[in-house]
Amino acid sequence: MNLTGNDVQEIVSVKSQLDYFFKIKDLGQLKFFLGLEVARSSKGIFINQRKYTLELLDAAVLC
């Protein structure tokens, strides 16, 4: 599950609520999710599917 928002305090409170009811494991900032790779820096966010593309190329067969 991903949580996004511009209010850090709100995210923290939602996380603690979820943890209270369901016991969640916080994996920190988003890096890899469903084939999407996410890189963050002060300049912005970069998303690509490099690994997914590699797997696609690897699996494809010529005929």
Long-range contacts formed by 18-25: CB under 8 A, 24+ apart = none
Stretch that binds another protein, among 4-12, 18-26, 49-57 (CB under 8 A): 49-57
Site string for another protein, 25-44 (x = CB under 8 A): ----------xxx----xxx
- Is 54 an interacting residue with respect to another protein (CB under 8 A)? yes
- Is 48 an interacting residue with respect to another protein (CB under 8 A)? yes
How many C-beta atoms lie closer than 10 Å to residue 24's C-beta?
A: 13
Q: Which two tokens stand for residue 30?
A: 């988003």
Q: How many residues bind another protein (CB under 8 A)?
A: 23
